[in-house]
Each structure stands twice: as structure tokens, then as C-alpha cells.
Amino acid sequence: MNIGAAARASGVSAKMIRHYESIGLLRTGARTLAGYRQYDDRDVHLLRFIRRARDLGFPLERIRDLLTLWDDPDRASADVKQLAEAHIADLDARIAALADMRDTLVALARACRGDQRPDCPILRKLAETD
């Protein structure tokens, strides 16, 4: 199938398919005599795998590791679990950082009168020097 059909079948845009090829995450599609990329069912399956991993927030380097493990019939599930648990820890840290940001913004928004006066604690906090 061509890149458009592979994009539709996998839910990954043609632009991202080209990107994944350029970084070596996906093999470069074979080409027709006219130069069009061609993809098979395995390529679409790999693209779906990548899309699902991206949907879970895995960075591309971890997806590369997951693909390597997925392709290895002798893999240990402990290796896969270790990658997942490391990603969970990263997500937890990001969630905590986002919660802190939210709490700060909520406090600043509550401190702001939101009226016609120019005084604004939000802008004052952003302008602070450390």
C-alpha cells in the first residue's frame, strides 16, 4: 500500500511516517518504479504499535527500546516491565510538577482582583527576579 493508505490504516500521519523512517524507527518503505513508498501489513502493525506507545506518552527512544524487545522472541518480560515502570515514574514526576504549577497559578489568580486597576500579582510574580 502507499503511504496514504498506510497512514489511514495505522492512524499515523504520512508526515510522521516519514519522520519515523528518517530517525530509523521504521524501515524506509520500498519504492515503486515511480518512486512511491510502499508499505505492507507488518509496517502498518509497527505504526500502530508506535502510535499506541506515543498515546501512552513514551518518548521515541523508549519506543525504540520497546520495538527491539517486541521483535525479540527471547526477551524477558521483566525488561519490558522495567521500561514501563520507569515511564510511570517519569509520568508521576511530570504530574507532580504540573500540579505544583497549577497550584501556583490558582493562588495567583485568586490574589488578582481582576478589575480595572493596573496592579496584577500574576504579572508581578512573573517579573520577579530570583
- Confidence (pLDDT) at 34: 82
Domain ranges of the chain: 1-74, 76-130
- Confidence (pLDDT) at 89: 98
Mean pLDDT of the chain: 94
- Confidence (pLDDT) at 32: 80
Q: H helices within 28-120, ranges in order?
A: 41-55, 60-70, 77-111
CB 29 within 8 A of CB 43: yes
For residues 45-57, average pLDDT: 97
pTM to 2 decimals? 0.81
User: What would the pLDDT profile of 75-115 be if each residue is shown by its tens digit?
Assistant: 999 999 999 999 999 999 999 999 999 999 999 999 998 89
CB 4 within 8 A of CB 37: no
CATH code of the domain made up of 1-74? 1.10.1660.10
- Confidence (pLDDT) at 67: 96
Percentage of the chain lying above the pLDDT 90 cut: 81
- Confidence (pLDDT) at 27: 84
